Structure 1
Amino acid sequence: MIPVIAVAHGSRDPRSAQAMAAALTALRARRPDWDVRLAFLDLNAPSVRQAVDAVAAEGHHRVVVVPLLLGSAFHARVDLPGILAEAHVRHPHLELVRTDVLGPDRLLVAAARNAVAATGVSRLDPSVGIAMCAVGSRRAGADAATAAVAPRLLAGTSWTHVRACFATSTPDVVGALTALREAGARRLVVAPWLLAPGLLWDRACDAAQSAFPDIRIATPLAAGDAVGRVVERRCLDALADSTGVLRSA
């Protein structure tokens, strides 16, 4: 059985860990030959270190590590690789296969599009305006890369209005919704480019509802089966490729 450690960000909000755990349920059913475990970079247990140590203690020689992250910011580029490098020193005979991050996979974009439609707006209504809300990043270019995902939500619909916005940077959700309304959108939806609910998402929703009481709010991406399906794809790709593998000398 192949051990797979899915690594989430972690949150003080218990709904976040619950949502990430639920997102992996369907994957376990589809891949009974995989031992899928959830670990966290911060604030929740088990930590990545604890999860890797447990795999090594059980006698496994290979583990696949999947970052449950939508972008390649600090946690993906620095934090997780550093943790895994330390783990490799502790367990030199354990092969650590690190996959790419989840986003912006087409399955997640489709899940976001479906979540917008599930709020009750028609896919044929050109007056729909979507504010795609992500966390935001201080890394140069990261927010622009996220913003590039927003137009992909329109594919296969008659929607014409979409703006990216961020919970920790600009434009914020109220600014994006204001711009959408000024551009002619009449039915406004906030779509989270977020995996799970949490405090930042709650704040964005509260601000949106205060400024636009008729706003519709879509569910985060982990609510469906898309996250599990992307994790499966990342694992299969990584197992077929030596890239990202740490081996003993």
Structure 2
Amino acid sequence: MMPLVAVAHGSRDPRSARAVAAALDTVRAENPGLDVRLAFLDLNTPSVGRILDALAADGHRQVTVVPLLLGSAFHARVDLPALLREARLRNPRLEVLCSPILGDDERLVAAARELITASGVSVDDPSIGVAVCAVGSRRPEANRATELVVPRIVAGTAWTRASVCFATSAEPSVGSALDALSRSGASVLVLAPWMLAPGLLWDRACAAAESVPYVRVAATLADHDALARVIVARYTEAVNGTRVSRAA
């Protein structure tokens, strides 16, 4: 069975790596015999190159990389492809398949909805206001993609007040989004992360919400088993050749 190399962004906050590692433990438990490795783009070890070099040294001739990324920003478009090309040059006998990012997979959208309800609100309560928070990007297209996820998360619920917001300098900010939802008539607010794992940016978002009354905070996507299922789905798509790119 071809090894799966799950590539996470990396964070200075150790909770992030632990959350991703726990999701991969679920992948292993549900897929006995699958060789699952974790690598990081930045800030944590092991690096992508180190893992691919180790697999090549062990005699593997094919590996599948699954980027654990929700948005198509710099890391997905530039950083990771460059690292895969470099690994391929060092290991010319190793074929590196790369799946698409996790992105806005419907299973993750449904997971976000379930994590919102797990914060203690009902899908039938029209007084709920939901602020879906992503990291944010310098690319307007990436931020727009997150904005389009919001109506899908609240689909099928009574939550008619919903907004995107961002933890970085992109607009709207967490505070402004929550304020707008409150002014629109929402009596209970939920800050919901469109983020895989807890970390410094999510802490920043939560801190910005502390000054707004009646805010509940949902868990990150790594708290839901759907993350493991989507990782395996991306791996399977790449192995079967349905959605795959190859490192040059």
TM-score range, shorter chain: over 0.9
Which amino acid counterpart does residue 41 of structure 2 have in structure 1? L
Q: Equivalent residues in 2 for 1:39-58 (5 A)?
A: 39-58=39-58
Residue of structure 1 equivalent to 2:180 = 179
Deviation at 1:246, TM superposition (A): 3.6
Counterparts of 1:228 and 1:103, CA distance in 2: 14
> Does residue 205 of the first structure (1) align with residue 216 of the second (2)?
no
> Does residue 134 of the first structure (1) align with residue 134 of the second (2)?
yes
Residue of structure 1 equivalent to 2:227 = 227
Q: Equivalent residues in 2 for 1:142-221 (5 A)?
A: 142-168=142-168, 169-210=170-211, 212-221=212-221
Q: Which stretches of structure 1, 4 residues or more, deviate above 2 A after TM superposition?
A: none
Secondary structure of the corresponding residue to residue 34 of structure 1 = coil
Deviation at 1:154, TM superposition (A): 1.1
Which amino acid counterpart does residue 195 of structure 1 have in structure 2? L
Deviation at 1:61, TM superposition (A): 0.6
Deviation at 1:156, TM superposition (A): 2.1
Tell me, yes or no, if the aligned pair for 1:2 and 1:33 is still in contact at 8 Å. no
The C-alpha deviation readout for 1:30-63, integer Å capped at 9, x for no partner, is: 1113101110000100000111011001000110
In percent, how many aligned pairs have the same letter? 59
Residue of structure 2 equivalent to 1:109 = 109
Q: Equivalent residues in 2 for 1:14-29 (5 A)?
A: 14-29=14-29
Secondary structure of the corresponding residue to residue 2 of structure 1 = coil
Deviation at 1:93, TM superposition (A): 1.0
Which amino acid counterpart does residue 199 of structure 2 have in structure 1? G
Tell me, yes or no, if the aligned pair for 2:187 and 2:214 is still in contact at 8 Å. no
Residue of structure 2 equivalent to 1:122 = 122
Tell me, yes or no, if the aligned pair for 2:193 and 2:221 is still in contact at 8 Å. yes
Deviation at 1:140, TM superposition (A): 3.1
Counterparts of 1:59 and 1:139, CA distance in 2: 40
* Structure 2: unaligned runs, 5 residues or longer: none
The C-alpha deviation readout for 1:168-226, integer Å capped at 9, x for no partner, is: 1110111101111111111100000000001111111011012x132100000001111
* Structure 1: unaligned runs, 5 residues or longer: none
Counterparts of 1:58 and 1:189, CA distance in 2: 47
